[in-house]
Amino acid sequence: MDNIFNIDSLPIDSELFDTIFHNKNVKIERILSKGQVTKDGEWYNQETDEWVILIQGNAKIEFENHKIIELNSGDYIFIPSHQKHKVIFTSVDPICIWIAVHIEKE
């Protein structure tokens, strides 16, 4: 057992990705961010659908069509596979606690 708010192991200069559950169809991750963003010129272009909820903090995600979504604690979105996106802001105080659910296509 663990607690989603246990953040003792957060590195100072990088995000922390913890796999909470994984099987052949679904992967659930807890992600801790503290000011980290996607590197310049890079985009996420994932093979899986992703449902993500921001449990704590504030963040902004930009999509390839230049649409920007601002997320606050409790907000969630669904990102279909191959929809290019990047994280352009994550709060430092409070840190961002995300839950990401990756769903394999059958």
Q: Domains (ranges, CATH) in the chain?
A: 16-103 (2.60.120.10)
Residue owning tokens 């990047």: 86
**pTM attached to this predicted model:** 0.90
pLDDT at 34: 92
pLDDT at 11: 65
- H helix intervals, 1-106: none
Residues of the chain with pLDDT under 70: 9-12
Paired sense of beta strands 16-22 and 76-79, if any: unpaired
- C-alpha span between 94 and 1 (Å, rounded): 24
DSSP string, 13-51: SS-EEEEEEE-SSEEEEEEEESS--PPTT--B--SSEEE
